[in-house]
Chains A and B, each alone.
Chain A
Amino acid sequence: MHTAVSSDNARFHIVILEDNELDLLTIKRSIREAGVNCEFTAFADGEEALAYVNEAASRVADLMILDLNIPKVEGASVLNSIRGNPRWAHAKVAVFTASQDPGDIARVKLLGADDYFVKPMDLAGFAKIGSAVKDWLDKRAPVSGA
């Protein structure tokens, strides 16, 4: 799945790797509702995401949000590829997962994730993630050309 949602004057590019449609929908809404001016690209499995990251012409993300537990290629492998790709060196990566296992958290931090969001049980939790994304993007200029 390759969904590009454009909005006028989109400044930032956010890539989301998430196979749960409700989570995808909700996190996009939360980020928009937080007031982030951005364009989304979404993938539902690791293979598609990997192909995108490794494609020379792909548009580099300012922020990549990835679920660890996704079909085909694990989120951790995708994260590893991003960190090994110079074009994507400046992309911020936030892991978005249901796991609260301290071991999982430590592992993805080691792989180079900048942040770790536990999938919330309520909309307030999603709203917090939306504001965190806005705070972070406000502090930097977009790396990607539109």
Chain B
Amino acid sequence: MKVPRTIPEGGPLNGTSFLGEGETMLAGLAASFFAAVPASPLNGDDSFEEVSHSAAPELSLRYRTLLEQIPAVVFMARLEDGHSEAYVSPHIETILGFTREEWLDDPIRWYYQIHPDDRGRWNIEAASFVLSGQPLRSVYRVLTRDGHVVWFQCEVKMVRRPGGQPWFFHGVGIDVTDLKNAEQELQRAHDELEIRVQERTAELSRANAELQQRAEELARSNADLEQFAYSASHDLQEPIRNVAISAQLLARDHSSALDHEGQGLLKTALNSAYHMESLVRDLLEYTRVARAAEETGNETDAHRVMETVLQTLEATIRDSGAEVTCDLLPSVLLPAFRLQQLFQNLVSNGIKYRSDKPPRIHVSAALVDGSWVFSVEDNGIGIDPQYHERIFGIFKRLHNKDKYPGTGIGLAICKRIVEHVGGRIWVESDSGKGARFMFTIPNSANAARKLIDEDACEVAPRIAHR
């Protein structure tokens, strides 16, 4: 069915006061076109020009040229004629592959060229457009002659008669296929990226879970090992004590039954039992540092602990002629008996490993990067740098037991205590030049405040052994 192309007269739009300024212009533009459209089907540009006989042909020609240069489909249609197209610009051919004749000859072709999936939406939006008269702005997929999809961004506007009833509409369809494709490509890339990110995240969390599991296994096996060492050393104590006590009872009550050699052997057995006992006791102590869920909530005044250590080591200090001095020390988050173990081990090492000179030991502390760094410095025989790591190992000794007695676990215990609270311990020393043992204890804000208190200053003079 062909819709008759009735061309409205240019007159009715002149001086229309009900339209806005822009709309008046558009209406005028439309009117001039309609004036140029022949009653019979258009036969291309030439016929269009030939039949144009509007009141202002130059204007019409100028607008037409301008319009037809726009790389988009410009269209107009009479509403009275059942939405049939009255005009379509020649780019319909470059964009959709249909000549304008083909397009205009079949008044409902445009509808079937709308992508089936978008028709429903078009129906709704077009109805709303006709009823409200509000401009229609939407994007539809339109099929070309050869079936390709072209994305059209449409802007359609209604022009009304002076009485207010819809007269015709005009609009423009811009081919935004490239834009849409780019947009889709971008979306695809984005989705792909999203998927990859999700995959990576999943991989990472898998790896993380695996790592966590391994850490747990390690912690468990570590705990088992600690438990084993603890139980073993605990259970070893009894037989060792039995050997020692039996040997002593034998020596005390039955020595007459033994000759000189027998008594010597008994003494060796006893000494071995004592040595074994101290090894086991130290091993127990070593495992206990990590086993104990010790309270670290309380602060310990390092200065008072140092006083206790000096009292405990009083005889050793006196006998060796040592001089132990101490700066003002802070309060730290470490149980008192642990701090005592640290100081006692380091100070007694300083005395034990002395040179020919009388031992001089100095204890001090400084706040560095939020941790208290304690220093125990001596003037003893020093330690060759190649052994600086090894001395902190369990049962590692650098010297003959006869010259420097001990089990070789003291520094290992110190290392455990310090590391248990997140600190570290090391030594700065050279052979023959004394040693300086340093350890850190992470600081608490309160502890720092306490050092400045007069309370701490009051303790200081009591320690001055200098």
Q: Which residues of A contact B (CB under 8 A)?
A: 20, 22-23, 26, 98-103, 119, 121-123, 126
Q: B175 to chain A: closest CB distance in Å?
A: 84
Contacts A20-B238, A100-B281, A102-B337 hold; do A123 and B245 have CB atoms under 8 A apart? yes
Q: Which residues of B contact A (CB under 8 A)?
A: 234, 237-238, 241-242, 244-246, 248-249, 252, 273-274, 277, 281, 284, 288, 292, 337
Q: B47 to chain A: closest CB distance in Å?
A: 109
| B241 A119 Cβ-Cβ under 8 A | yes
Instruction: Determine which of A26, A98, A103 lies in contact with B249 in the assembled complex, contact meaning CB atoms within 8 Å.
Output: A26
Instruction: Determine which of B237, B244, B252, B273 lies in contact with A98 in the assembled complex, contact meaning CB atoms within 8 Å.
Output: B237
Chain B residues with CB below 8 A from A121, complex form: 241, 244-245, 273-274, 277
| A123 B277 Cβ-Cβ under 8 A | no
How many angstroms from the CA of A126 to the CA of B249 in the assembled complex? 11
Q: Which 6 A-B pairs have the closest CB atoms?
A: A98-B237, A123-B248, A22-B242, A121-B244, A121-B277, A22-B245
Q: A6 to chain B: closest CB distance in Å?
A: 23
How many angstroms from the CA of A126 to the CA of B245 in the assembled complex? 10
Contacts A22-B246, A121-B277, A123-B252 hold; do A98 and B238 have CB atoms under 8 A apart? yes
Instruction: Determine which of A26, A100, A101, A102 lies in contact with B245 in the assembled complex, contact meaning CB atoms within 8 Å.
Output: A26
A–B Cβ pairs within 8 angstroms, 15 of them: A20-B242, A22-B245, A23-B241, A26-B245, A26-B249, A98-B241, A102-B337, A121-B241, A121-B244, A121-B245, A121-B273, A121-B274, A122-B244, A122-B245, A122-B248
How many angstroms from the CA of A144 to the CA of B451 in the assembled complex? 57
How many angstroms from the CA of A121 to the CA of B241 in the assembled complex? 6
Extra A-B contacts (8), CB below 8 Å, given A121-B274, A122-B244: A23-B241, A23-B242, A98-B234, A98-B241, A121-B245, A122-B245, A123-B245, A123-B248
How many angstroms from the CA of A98 to the CA of B248 in the assembled complex? 18
Chain A residues with CB below 8 A from B249, complex form: 26, 123
**Closest A residue, CB atoms, query B288:** A101
Chain A residues with CB below 8 A from B242, complex form: 20, 22-23
Chain B residues with CB below 8 A from A99, complex form: 234
How many angstroms from the CA of A105 to the CA of B234 in the assembled complex? 16
**Closest A residue, CB atoms, query B278:** A121
Q: A136 to chain B: closest CB distance in Å?
A: 23
How many angstroms from the CA of A63 to the CA of B244 in the assembled complex? 27
**Closest B residue, CB atoms, query A101:** B288
Q: A115 to chain B: closest CB distance in Å?
A: 19
Q: A45 to chain B: closest CB distance in Å?
A: 16
Q: B99 to chain A: closest CB distance in Å?
A: 99
How many angstroms from the CA of A23 to the CA of B249 in the assembled complex? 12
Q: B270 to chain A: closest CB distance in Å?
A: 9
Chain B residues with CB below 8 A from A102, complex form: 337
How many angstroms from the CA of A23 to the CA of B238 in the assembled complex? 10
Chain B residues with CB below 8 A from A122, complex form: 244-245, 248
**Closest A residue, CB atoms, query B274:** A121
Chain A residues with CB below 8 A from B234, complex form: 98-99
How many angstroms from the CA of A122 to the CA of B245 in the assembled complex? 6
Chain A residues with CB below 8 A from B277, complex form: 121
